[in-house]
């Protein structure tokens, strides 16, 4: 019995050390001796789901609950398994059962807060975090979750205070610095946000979310990029007004403004990305693909401007208009790259290639009308992309 207990404790430590495969070996040894060891089944479920074996992990969690339905720990561990598996509704159901059996366990409230956070339920996240903090006021992760929820709810004063408190409680917590950075970024301090995200990456180098947020913070420090991105956000809903065009043709001007603002913001993003990707201090934040796309977009702008100048100098309207069409290709390129769904991305890449071919043909055939249509189509890709994402995938 002592050996079994020691093995379970070793497995628990191995899980805390993020060594689920080693934990699995320990736990299977325990279950070979005691097939109905409840705690071993619960920990094995977590070890399996951490290795990507969701089906067997969930089955082990069910087995632990079946063997001990009146133990709060089995339901709590099942909640962890569901949370790791990306099934927040089932996680919340399991955690609520656990809390009904043992409402004084702060980590269960933390897990419930994380599940609500994953679903974007900010008030519920804040409430669960506060319930946990009533039991353990010094839990930095609970304070961080509260700060994240308050940030999403737009409560600048309380969110900033909570994030700072989380960092004070545990200066070595990546979650605390992440919450601090998110609050700073949301409330207009990208420089402080960048410092916080750098600290996250120092403490947890593989934290991809922090890497993406650091890039966003660094870009947001560029005043031009910041203004254009915000204007683009304000006008993003303008695509719904397309149904009013037959009744109000002047709205065409509004749509042109929206499209040009989006294009300008994508150009600013390409320039900012290229600048950061070439700087020694930030070059490792960007993948080769991101850097290449930034170079391509900057080259499209330069090449288009050169063609526009050439067309104007020589009096060749088709060449000049094609130059504008080349510059307009920045929008479809960026929209394709920033699409999460692989299928939608493939369609948008094909659309971009088709537009590029049409621009080239218009120049060869000296057809300014065709080139002008390519300009409109390129700039209008913001709505084409939105439709493709809606049908084939989700927006990032």
Asked, colleague to colleague, whether 1-103 and 116-221 share their fold, the answer is yes
**Average pLDDT of 261-288?**
77
What's the CATH number of domain 1-103, 3.40.50.2000, 3.40.50.12780, 1.25.40.10, 1.10.1060.10?
1.25.40.10
Specify the CATH superfamily of domain 116-221. Tetratricopeptide repeat domain (1.25.40.10)
- What does the pLDDT look like over 142-200, one tens digit per residue? 999 999 999 999 999 999 999 999 999 999 999 999 999 999 999 988 889 988 988 88
Is the pLDDT confidence value at 244 over 50? Answer: no
Q: What span, in angstroms and rounded, lies between the C-alpha atoms of 301 and 158?
A: 44
Confidence of residue 301 (pLDDT cuts 50, 70, 90): very high
Q: How far apart are CA 328 and CA 387, in angstroms?
A: 19
Residue 353 has pLDDT above 60, yes or no: yes
- pLDDT surpasses 80 at 245: no
- In the three-class reduction of DSSP (H, G, I as helix; E, B as strand; rest coil), residue 339 is classed as strand
User: What is the C-alpha to C-alpha distance for residues 253 and 232, in angstroms, rounded to an integer?
Assistant: 15
For the chain, the structural domain boundaries read: 1-103, 116-221, 226-392
Q: How far apart are CA 145 and CA 129, in angstroms?
A: 6
Local structure of residue 395 (DSSP, 8 states)? B
Mean pLDDT of the chain: 85
Is the pLDDT at 394 greater than 50, yes or no? no
* Arithmetic mean of pLDDT, 126-154: 96
Is 110's pLDDT higher than 70?
yes
User: Cα separations (Å) of 273 from 102, 218, 392?
Assistant: 50, 9, 28
Residue 237: pLDDT over 50: no
Give me the long-range contacts of 135-141 (CB less than 8 A, separation at least 24): 135/104, 135/105, 135/106, 135/109, 136/106, 138/169, 139/106, 139/110, 139/169, 140/166, 140/167, 140/169, 140/170, 140/173, 140/175, 140/176, 141/110, 141/166, 141/173, 141/175, 141/176
355 pLDDT band (50/70/90 cuts)? very high
Spatial separation of the C-alpha atoms in residues 388 and 138, rounded to whole Å:
47
User: What pLDDT sits at residue 73?
Assistant: 94
Confidence at residue 325, expressed as pLDDT on a 0 to 100 scale: 93
* Cα–Cα distance for residue pair 44/92, rounded to 1 Å: 20
In whole angstroms, give the CA distance from residue 301 to residue 267.
Answer: 8
């Amino acid at each position: 019995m002592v050996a079994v207990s020691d093995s379970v404790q070793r497995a628990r430590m191995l899980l805390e050390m993020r060594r689920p495969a080693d934990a699995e070996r320990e736990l299977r040894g325990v279950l070979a001796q005691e097939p109905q060891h409840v705690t071993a089944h619960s920990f094995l479920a977590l070890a399996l789901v951490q290795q990507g074996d969701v089906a067997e992990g969930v089955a082990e969690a069910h087995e632990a609950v079946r063997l001990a339905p009146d133990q709060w720990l089995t339901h709590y561990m099942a909640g962890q398994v569901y949370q790791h598996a990306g099934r927040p509704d089932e996680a919340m159901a399991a955690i609520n059962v656990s809390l009904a059996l043992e409402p004084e366990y702060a980590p269960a409230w933390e897990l419930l807060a994380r599940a609500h956070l994953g679903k974007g339920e900010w008030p519920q996240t804040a409430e669960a975090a506060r319930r946990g903090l009533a039991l353990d006021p010094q839990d930095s992760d609970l304070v961080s979750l509260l700060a994240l929820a308050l940030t999403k709810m737009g409560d600048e004063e309380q969110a900033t205070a909570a994030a700072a408190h989380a960092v004070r409680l545990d200066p070595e917590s990546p979650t605390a610095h992440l919450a601090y950075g998110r609050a700073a970024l949301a409330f207009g301090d990208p420089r402080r946000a960048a410092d916080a995200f750098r600290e996250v990456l120092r403490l947890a180098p593989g934290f991809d979310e922090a890497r993406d947020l650091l890039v966003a913070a660094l870009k947001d420090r560029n005043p031009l990029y910041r203004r254009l991105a915000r204007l683009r956000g304000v006008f993003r809903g303008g695509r719904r007004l397309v149904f009013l065009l037959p009744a109000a043709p002047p709205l065409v001007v509004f749509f042109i403004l929206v499209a040009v603002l989006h294009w300008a913001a994508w150009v600013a993003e390409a320039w900012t990305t290229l600048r950061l990707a070439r700087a020694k201090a930030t070059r490792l934040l960007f993948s080769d693909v991101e850097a290449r796309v930034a170079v391509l977009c900057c080259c499209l702008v330069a090449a288009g401007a050169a063609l526009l100048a050439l067309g104007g100098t020589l009096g060749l309207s088709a060449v000049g208009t094609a130059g504008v069409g080349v510059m307009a290709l920045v929008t479809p390129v960026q929209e394709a790259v920033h699409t999460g769904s692989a299928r939608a991305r493939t369609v948008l890449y094909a659309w971009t290639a088709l537009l590029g071919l049409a621009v080239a043909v218009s120049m060869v055939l000296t057809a300014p009308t065709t080139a002008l249509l390519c300009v409109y189509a390129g700039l209008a890709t913001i709505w084409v992309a939105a439709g493709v994402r809606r049908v084939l995938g989700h927006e990032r």
